[in-house]
Amino acid sequence: MVAPGVATLNAVPETSYASCGGLSVAYQVFGAGPVDLVFAGSFISHLELSWAVPEFVAFFERLATFCRVLLFDKAGKLLKTVAKGAGGPGDKGTGIGEWNLPHKLAVDAQENLYIIDREGHRLQVFDKNLNYLREIKVEGWNPWDIGISRKGDDGFAYIADHALERVHKLSLKDGKLVATWGKQGWGPGEFDWVHGIVVDSKGAVYAGDTYGQRLQKFVPAGTTSSR
């Protein structure tokens, strides 16, 4: 149901392109209000895909009731690449800044990047300018994802480990395991292909279970865990 006074756009606006410093920046125009509003997306954006998200569509339709909206993509400029060679399939490696399968990353409060090299069975750590800092490896693990709290300042990361279907709590300072839980299974605290993990600002850990088709929530001691 459309709220009173909110126009429904009949189709996704046509995408056009403007030249900007050698780049072609995508933009769309919609709405017929008396005010021109320039709206730029987040640091990563895709105009057409935005219209597949109902919350965005409702927001745009509301703007269109009183504005002519000029919706722009953010221009992306490659600053630096960390890879062996050109970074293609033939450039797999185990050295510093080389990858066997870069899979997921997380950012701490100091804007350091913790990047999973999934088939390399390790984490590589870089600063915000992609300067190499160190490597974290744990014998026998196969890390698939890493989660650091939204604050990022408590000194811990959580690892989804596919090797034995476990979750690890990891000290970012020294790379040592602080806690481990989980095993193969479909019961509480068990996993069948644990694949994704995130941490909220209160320290709750959410682990995505691929074949278990569920999300399990783990909270600090003294509170209740749920699925």
The reported pTM is: 0.67
Domains of the chain, each with CATH number or no CATH: 16-72 (no CATH), 89-218 (2.120.10.30)
Pairing of strands 35-40, 132-136: unpaired
Query: Binning pLDDT at 50, 70 and 90, where does residue 119 land?
Result: very high
Question: Does the structure show a pLDDT above 90 at 10?
Answer: no
Q: Which of 51-55, 63-67, 135-139 has the highest mean pLDDT?
A: 135-139
Q: Tens digit of pLDDT for each residue in 159-186?
A: 999 999 999 999 998 999 999 999 999 9
| DSSP strands (E only) in the chain | 16-20, 23-30, 35-40, 67-72, 102-107, 113-117, 122-126, 132-136, 143-147, 156-161, 166-171, 177-181, 194-199, 205-209, 214-218
- DSSP readout, 136-190? E--TT--EEEEE--SS--SSEEEEEETTTTEEEEEETTT--EEEEE--BSSSTT-
42 vs 34: which has the higher pLDDT: 34
